[in-house]
Amino acid sequence: MRIINILITTFILSSSSSFAYLNEHTSGKRSIMRKTQYKQVQIIEKVDDDGVIRKVSWKGMHHPELNTLLGPCYSYYQDYMKQSTRLRLRGAISIDKDGCHISIGGHMRNVTGEVSLDK
């Protein structure tokens, strides 16, 4: 008989003055989704079964500090922002590189983003 492992995903909601970042090793619960309210931004972190934050998404009045939140993927974002004026996309970006998947967009008053890192 095939064994099916069921991953029980729970949501933990909290308000915080800081937030975790992609690829951070956490010591708390594993296989959970943590929902954090950071200022006026809602951040959802997905903690994998190995205790590592593999995916972070956000939505709110402003972007969280991306240099922290994007963790090892931040350099790809920075490289993109240095692209020439003529070729740089306006309004949103989407980057898939070396296991980093970054989507950032939205509009004033409601900016959004999602970043994940392959195992």
Partner 1 sequence: MINNLRVFLCLFISILLFGCGSKSSPTTSAAPTSGGVANSCLNAPAGGNISLSNPPTGLNVLPVVLNGQNYSNEPTVTIKFCNPGTNTCVSVSNILVDTGSYGLRVFGSTLSALTLPQINSPSGNSLAECAQFGIGSTWGPIKSADVILGTEAAVTIPIQIIDASFGTRPTACANSDTTPSTAGYNGILGVGLFKEDCGPACVAPNPAPSLYYSCIGAACSVSNAPLASQVVNPVGRLATDNNGVILELPSIPTCGAQTVTGALTLGIGTRANNTPAAVTFFQTNNLGEFTTTFNGQAYTSSFIDSGTNVLFFPRNNSLPSCTQRVGGQDISTFDCPLNTVTLSATQISGATQKTISFQVNNAYNMFLSPNYNFNDIAANLATTFDWGLPFFYGRKVFVGIDGTASSLGTGPYWAY
Write out the residues near partner 1 by the rule CB under 8 A. Answer: 39-41, 57, 59-63, 65, 67, 78, 81, 83-96, 101, 103-114
Task: Please report how close the Cβ of residue 27 comes to partner 1 at its closest, in angstroms.
Answer: 26
- Least distance (Å) from partner 1 to the CB of residue 77? 8
Minimum Å distance from CB 79 to partner 1?
9
Task: Return the number of other C-beta atoms located less than 10 Å from residue 89's C-beta.
Answer: 10
Work out the burial of residue 21: count CB atoms within 10 Å of its CB; fewer than 13 is exposed, 13-18 middle, 19 or more buried: buried
DSSP-derived letter for residue 90 is S
Nearer to partner 1, 50 or 96 (CB): 96
Q: Which is nearer to partner 1, 50 or 79 (CB)?
A: 79
- By beta-carbon proximity to partner 1, the closer residue of 24 and 51 is 24
Specify the residue for token string 């975790």: 20
In angstroms, the Cα distances linking 23 to 11, 45, 90 are 19, 10, 28
